[in-house]
Structure 1
């Protein structure tokens, strides 16, 4: 029985106090060997096309000074978030990206690595980036404070954006499904149609959010080079 509205996001399935719902983050690995066992197949061709497009786009955003293979970090980030978002749309599969413990761990670790690399290797560039070009002298101290705050809250905004979008859609689907018990039969058909439309929307949101997170992470890494 659901004790409160947010209990559907609790990792409550456990054995010997080990939360097995978190194992859903590893379910995406089941789809990877399949694409290599049967070559060529439609799934492998489609996924290879997506990866190539992402590689070229990330390479353009990172610029000519980027290290070789740096785009694979963000392609892996996109793949991991996309698999978890899409798997969370299936019944009885735990959505790990709806928890800040996952999304904040990803965004905070990336942000810390970017900051450490930037301040250690390109400290002068990082100081210059604190003050936009053409800023009046009297506004420079305030711009440094504003830029510092906006830089610090970046991992939080990335994590909250992903978590809030995942929670909002799942909550709406859950609330509508709970009202179907007391509805007459002719309204249940309309409710099912609305649920299918919402599920399609959630699929689009899952793809868009994984793309947005990877693009923003790429842009943040480009600033430290």
Structure 2
């Protein structure tokens, strides 16, 4: 049973001997371009509304010293994770954000780019950031060690946070649905209501996690300026 349960997170699972699971990562991109070919509609206006709100919030976190257009990196990250989280809620669609292959690649790439930029262009600021203001001299070596460790594990925490949240909800939905055959007929409606509530919760988690990853990435970027 456990093999069947965890097989939904197995990227090697194939269909007609074709390993096409990772194609689900690109499915969301198919729904975006059509809004550019039609007269502005509600979908397009809603999309622009969310983008503007995110832009204003990310711009506030990055500060006035940030480069023009830098917020679009994090807006694109939000929508990319958002689409993949939501697509994973549909039956028989592979959830790519439940794998460290994808999440760690995204977080590690961004973290390395921030660190390389910060240490090359703002090395003095990076050194100052490792020792909080007012730290006693005797505690400075320990503070440097603690700040270094907390900085190094950042990409791992970003990746594991997203992966764990996606796996936990999907496993719970799968476990509950697998008990449907053993449920009496007069209790099935209770199981269906619980499944709907969990699916609603997972939809909220999909939005919240994409927002959290984008916000944390923005905060990490603002620290190197």
User: Same fold by TM-score, threshold 0.5 exceeded?
Assistant: yes
The equivalent of 1:38 in structure 2 is 38
The equivalent of 1:28 in structure 2 is 28
The equivalent of 2:57 in structure 1 is 57
- Does structure 2 retain, via aligned residues, the 8 Å contact 1:173–1:195? yes
The equivalent of 1:224 in structure 2 is 224
| SS at 1:93 equivalent | coil
Using the TM superposition, give the Cα deviation of residue 19 of structure 1 relative to its aligned residue in structure 2, in angstroms: 2.2
The equivalent of 1:133 in structure 2 is 133
Give the whole-Å Cα distance in 2 for the aligned partners of 1:215 and 1:2: 35
The equivalent of 2:14 in structure 1 is 13
Using the TM superposition, give the Cα deviation of residue 14 of structure 1 relative to its aligned residue in structure 2, in angstroms: 4.9
- Does structure 2 retain, via aligned residues, the 8 Å contact 1:2–1:8? no
Question: Equivalences for 1:139-154 in 2 at 5 Å?
Answer: 139-154=139-154
Q: 1:110 to 1:157 in 2, by over 3 A?
A: same
- Does structure 2 retain, via aligned residues, the 8 Å contact 1:85–1:206? yes
Size of the alignment, in residue pairs?
224
Q: 1:92 to 1:148 in 2, by over 3 A?
A: same
Using the TM superposition, give the Cα deviation of residue 4 of structure 1 relative to its aligned residue in structure 2, in angstroms: 4.2
Give the whole-Å Cα distance in 2 for the aligned partners of 1:121 and 1:151: 18
Using the TM superposition, give the Cα deviation of residue 126 of structure 1 relative to its aligned residue in structure 2, in angstroms: 0.2
Q: 1:221 to 1:203 in 2, by over 3 A?
A: same
The runs of at least 4 aligned residues of structure 1 exceeding 3 Å deviation read none
| SS at 1:40 equivalent | coil
1:85-126 per-residue CA deviation (whole Å, 9 max, x = no partner) reads: 001001111000000000000000000000000000100000
1:56-78 per-residue CA deviation (whole Å, 9 max, x = no partner) reads: 00000000100011000000000
Give the whole-Å Cα distance in 1 for the aligned partners of 2:184 and 2:78: 42
Greater shift in the superposed pair: 31-40 or 152-161: 31-40
Using the TM superposition, give the Cα deviation of residue 129 of structure 1 relative to its aligned residue in structure 2, in angstroms: 0.3
Length-normalised TM-score, structure 1 = 0.97
Using the TM superposition, give the Cα deviation of residue 203 of structure 1 relative to its aligned residue in structure 2, in angstroms: 0.3
| SS at 2:32 equivalent | helix
Q: Which runs of 5+ in 1 are unaligned?
A: none
Give the whole-Å Cα distance in 2 for the aligned partners of 1:185 and 1:119: 64
Give the whole-Å Cα distance in 2 for the aligned partners of 1:222 and 1:207: 23
1:4-57 per-residue CA deviation (whole Å, 9 max, x = no partner) reads: 4322111202566x5200000100111112212222211111111000000000
Give the whole-Å Cα distance in 1 for the aligned partners of 2:47 and 2:110: 24
